[in-house]
Amino acid sequence: MSRLFEPVRIGTLALRNRTVMAPMTRRASPGGVPGADVREYYLRRARGGVGMVISEGLAIDHPAAIHHPAVPDINSPEALAMWRSIAADVQAAGAAFVAQLWHTGGARTKYEDVVNPEVPSISASGVYFPGKPYGEPLNEAEIEAAVLSYGRAARAAMAAGCDGINIHGAHGYLIDSFLWRDTNVRGDGYGAANRTRFAAEVIAECRRQTRPDFPIMLRFSQFKEQAYDAKLAETPGELEAFLEPLVEAGVDIFDCSTRRFWMPEFEGSVLNLAAWTRKLSGVPTMAVGSVGLDNDVISSQHQRLSSGVASLDKLEAMLSRGDFDLVGIGRALISDPEWVQGGAGTAERAERLRRGGSGRAGLALVRKIRLIPSRLNRIRRHPAVADGVDSLALVDHRARRDPPFAVAAFQPVDVADVDDEVACRGLSGVG
């Protein structure tokens, strides 16, 4: 049996295989409450055979946590009732369900119309883009309030029947603003010399407010949205020192976010970030980054490069070496909810995707555009799809004067995953 599709147990998590639906922001829950469409979105992937589903980022109850009113939360009674129902449905379909806890931190400053605009955005040092302060550093009372907010969200997730939590500490968001030296210029006990302290306190509080055996995942990344070449650790020694206090705080699984899972992390070694993290910490890890595809999300989004279907041979070799325990899959599962069951990584699968996905309606995702009723002129039938398949393609207005920007060159995605407003980043995430 393929290592990817064999059962695995990590603590209380007994998974039918090593595949995980990676967390991907969608902004499809008006007022913070997920609806039936969100339930179906997750349920399709669970029915498709993944071992675990990780939710999109769910807002903790801090007033400056998010930037968009359609980001779901895990605080209100209405939202909690829906997550309880979604978790139960996903579990009944055979997958574990894990809630990702999210505070955007200083990234919120990039947006104009934010939730609670009267509340200042927060970060370690009042810095989102290095060298460009936008506000004041958090004081210790404010730090404590944020820590407690994460703890309450963890308790809510457990009460909703989730199988664990995934704390988002990557990509330049709130926790990462403490971890990354370029945005942590504090001079106190939370400064760069103790950069993991805030994250460790968040983990410990989540542990305090849940069961001793309740699974806690921590997502971290070297790269940031502000700087794709950023590094939290330049050497294995630095990474080991970085991980140690997080392990002591109670992390059960490290979610190691990269753009390309196959890339070595440090010179002179073939190991990627997840493999090094597992080796140095002794804690199970999840690799993520363009699994099943031949190009990363940043290149697809900003360089107009399409992503084709890639072989899983390299992934299988890394799993066989014991490099990591779980595999996070993002865009490949958006394109095909049945990716796990239907010949993932095979030539036959690639042809099915080229022709419009798994037989369901498909969309060719062009780039960051919006699909709203007043702009239906941007939609036309996908010429590569067989007769009888209800498939549409999003066409950016620039395609008319930019022939290489042809719709047939882009990865199809399930039309049922596109709501009234869709952005490339919202669908793609990093995976």
Cα–Cα distance between 46 and 217 in angstroms, integer? 19
Residue (of 250, 269, 247, 318) closest to 289 by Cα position: 318
Query: Are 166 and 100 within 8 A, CB to CB?
Result: yes
Residue (of 101, 231, 232, 105) closest to 177 by Cα position: 105
Which residue, chain included where needed, has tokens 């009042």? 126
Question: Which residues face 73 on adjacent strands?
Answer: 59
CA pseudo-torsion sign 175, 179, 183, 185: positive
Cα–Cα distance between 247 and 118 in angstroms, integer? 37
* 346 conformational bin, left if phi > 0, alpha if psi -120 to 50, beta if neither: beta
**Which tokens is 166 given?**
């995934």
HSE-up (13 A, CA, CB side) for residue 26: 30
Give 4's contacts (C-beta < 8 A, 6+ positions apart). 17, 18, 19, 312, 315, 316, 319, 327, 344
Residue (of 52, 146, 142, 150) closest to 101 by Cα position: 150
CA angle 321, 323, 324 (to 5 degrees): 130
HSE-up (13 A, CA, CB side) for residue 282: 4
Cβ neighbourhood burial of 377 (10 Å; 0-12, 13-18, 19+): exposed
Cα–Cα distance between 162 and 32 in angstroms, integer? 18
Taking only Cα atoms into account, the Rg of the chain, rounded to an integer number of angstroms, comes to 21
Cα–Cα distance between 376 and 262 in angstroms, integer? 39
- Whether 173 is catalytic is yes
Query: What's the farthest any 2 CA atoms get from each other in the chain?
Result: 65
Among 134, 173, 190, 228, the active-site one is: 173
Cα–Cα distance between 267 and 200 in angstroms, integer? 29
Cα–Cα distance between 358 and 170 in angstroms, integer? 32
Q: Which residues are catalytic?
A: 173
